[in-house]
Amino acid sequence: MKAYWSVLKLRLLHGMQYRTAALAGVATQFFFGFIFIMIFEAFYSHAVEKPPMSLKELVSYIWLQQAFLVFIALWIRDNELFQLITTGNVAYELCRPCGFYEFWYAKLLAQRLSGALLRCFPILIVAFILPHPYRMTLPPSPAGFTLFLLALVLGLLLLVAISMLIYISVFVTMSPTGSLLIFVVIGEFFAGKIIPIPLMPTWLQTVASALPFRWTADFPFRVYSGHIPADEALLGLFAQLGWLIVIVWLGKVALGKALRRVIIQGG
Amino acid sequence: MVLYFKYLLISFKSQMQYRASFWLLALAQFFIPFSVFAGLYFLFERFGQLKGWKFFEVALCFGIIHMAVSVSECFARGFDAFSTLVVSGDFDRLLVRPRGTVIQVLGSRFDFSRVGRLMQSVIVLGWSLSNLTVEWTAWKIVILLLMITSGALIFTGIFILGATLCFWTIQGLELVNVFTDGGREMAQYPLHIYPKWVSRFFTFVIPFGCVNYLPLLYILDKTDGPAGLYALLPVAGAFFLVPCLWVWRIGVRHYRSTGS
């Protein structure tokens, strides 16, 4: 456990070095946040019936989405790991005296965590002092906020477990593009990246709740604004935990299978 | 011009060497804007309309801007990926050749897998046109085509500006995405839904409005005032490229090689 912990810490420090790049990213995410809010505001201004999510809840949702984009985005990937697999250098990784899955999991977790730590604070601070319609609101209760933090952490763990599946699949396909990109697009759509889950039609919401993706980002963001009440949120935490166990187990089984047949490419 | 087509042909042949990978990539390129379009569709299903605009009208807006993006991303990819030329010092090689820099950078890279993205926007465009009751005149068709070409020219202009920045920063900047990806994201909706300062900026500084929203008003017969003026705006939008090329020339003069 200690080994994975230090991998996590080292990678975290490594990721924190790219501060200027993060700043440019913050500016981009601000712009996108504004555009999305403006579009939704325009839709909301002439809504015939009351939408299932108030504009206030939606604004918080969007800013959280922008602040924690690295917690949703499946397309962020570590090309280093892909290269390890395709060049055959993965042999070194197999020699290490620690679990393969855990080792990579710690690496990927650190990458996302450092990205979020650098980006989320400037975005959130400014989002709280913006003028009305764009201002982000505080969560309704301290209890709700605690639930949000728990849900966010579990969501992150779940997302990393899902992204592990992508890396494992490269052992079989040897090419990280194409088919994976489609998986990424579908995953992000059902995580509420394009439109929040409550605004989707009912049949699509049923599909979304059958998939693990909405538990990564959509769920914590709605817990924050109180759109999902506390008692329901508590149940949701267990659902997250359940999915996490299933996907980690799935990943380990798939990795075991892939490693048994692994062919080291190149020499 | 002959040189450009030679570049085009060579690049096409080389990308066709990996046929399966190419088609998979094209398919993926099809799905990215598809999910955005699905989002737009579901929003209209819930809200019905957007400040007086109906679904198929906005879909037309979406189709036109995405077509412009995919065309410029395919043909001006060289400028988009220009930072690699500067970082590696390969731009030196371009400078010693007896041809212009613009044509050589343009020819340095093409991305034909964008055809997937193009197909998606063509389908959206076709679908929205077949559901709109527009009285078509030859003039309107010309304007529609002009909108797409001028749009592509504007995106190319932004790519050139972003590439020019590399002369000073060496690395490419993510900030440029605000105007390319952000511009696309924004211009796929009619401009009047945004606050005044946003729509003004994107009409007079970066003229997305000139190639998309304003001429669309003419095509959909929503104009008030002299209609002919709206129709001529795409041509004005294309002039955005002129200052971009001018800035590029200043940039080239300031170029200092990074060495090899």
- Our CA angle for B237, A38, B48, nearest 5°, is 95
Closest to B164 (Cα-Cα) out of B241, B235, B110, B112: B241
Contacting residues of B for A48, CB less than 8 Å apart:
47-48
Q: Would you place residue A265 in the very low, low, confident or very high pLDDT band (cuts 50, 70, 90)?
A: low
Q: Would you place residue A245 in the very low, low, confident or very high pLDDT band (cuts 50, 70, 90)?
A: very high
How many domains, in total, are found in chain B? 1
Is the confidence at residue B94, as pLDDT, over 60?
yes
C-alpha distance from residue A132 to each of A138, A186, B167, B172 (Å) = 14, 33, 40, 34
Of residues A49 and A177, more confidence is placed in A49
Is the confidence at residue B179, as pLDDT, over 70?
yes
* B24, B173, B194 member nearest A179 (Cβ): B24
Per DSSP, B212 falls in state: T
pLDDT at A238 (0 to 100)? 92
Mean pLDDT of B120-143: 87
State chain A's mean pLDDT as an integer.
84
* CA–CA gap between residue B24 and residue B73 (Å, rounded): 18
Q: How many CB pairs under 8 A join A and B?
A: 89
Is the confidence at residue A266, as pLDDT, over 60?
no
Would you put residue A151 in left (φ > 0), alpha (ψ -120 to 50) or beta?
Answer: alpha
Determine which of A96-105, A184-193, A256-265, B126-135 has the lowest per-residue pLDDT on average.
A256-265
pLDDT at B99 (0 to 100)? 83
First to last CA, chain B: 30
* CA–CA gap between residue B195 and residue B193 (Å, rounded): 7
AA letter at A15: G
Determine which of A74-78, A165-169, B111-115, B166-170 has the lowest per-residue pLDDT on average.
A74-78
Within the 188-247 window of chain A, which residues sit less than 8 Å (CB to CB) from chain B? 188-189, 194-195, 199-201, 204
Residue B258 lies in a domain: no
Residues 6+ positions from B41 with CB-CB distance below 8 Å:
B55
Q: Which residue has the tokens 């002919």?
A: B228
Tell me the residue range of the domain where B27 lies. 2-253
Residue B260 lies in a domain: no
Cβ–Cβ of B35/A51 closer than 8 Å?
Answer: no
The fraction of chain B above a pLDDT of 90, given in percent, is 16
Measured in angstroms, the CA of B138 and the nearest CA of chain A are apart by: 33
- What is this structure's pTM? 0.85
The listed range with the strongest mean pLDDT (A185-199, B15-29, B157-171) is A185-199
Q: Would you place residue B124 in the very low, low, confident or very high pLDDT band (cuts 50, 70, 90)?
A: very high
Q: What is the predicted ipTM? A: 0.84
C-alpha distance from residue A222 to each of A1, A39, A68, A189, A235 (Å) = 33, 19, 14, 16, 14
Mean pLDDT of A1-25: 78
* A21, A188, A195 member nearest B42 (Cβ): A195
* CA–CA gap between residue A242 and residue A109 (Å, rounded): 19
Measured in angstroms, the CA of B139 and the nearest CA of chain A are apart by: 31
C-alpha distance from residue B196 to each of A4, A230, B191, B202, B203 (Å) = 52, 40, 9, 10, 10
